[in-house]
Amino acid sequence: MADAFIIDACRTPRGIGKPGKGALAHLHPQHLGATVLAALRDRNDLDTADVDDIVWGTSSQVSEQSGDLGRMAALDGTPAVAALFARHDAVFVASLREGSAPLWGRLARPPASPLLIVGPEGDFAPGELDFLLAAGARPCRLSGPVLRAETAAAAGAAILAQAILLWTQWKT
| Chain segment 27-57, per-residue pLDDT in tens | 777 777 888 888 888 888 888 777 777 777 7
pLDDT at residue 146 in the model: 75
Q: How far apart are CA 143 and CA 63, in angstroms?
A: 22
For 82-92, what is the mean pLDDT?
A: 83
| Chain segment 102-132, per-residue pLDDT in tens | 887 777 777 888 889 887 777 777 777 888 8
% of the chain surpassing 90 pLDDT: 0
Give the lowest-confidence range in 93-97, 101-105, 118-122, 168-172: 168-172
Determine what percent of the chain falls in helix, strand and coil, rounding each to the nearest 5. Answer: 40, 10, 50
Domains in the chain (CATH in brackets) are: 1-78 (no CATH), 79-172 (3.40.1280.10)
pTM > 0.75: yes or no: no
Q: Which residue type sits at 168? A: T
Q: How far apart are CA 94 and CA 33, in angstroms?
A: 23
For 79-102, what is the mean pLDDT?
A: 82
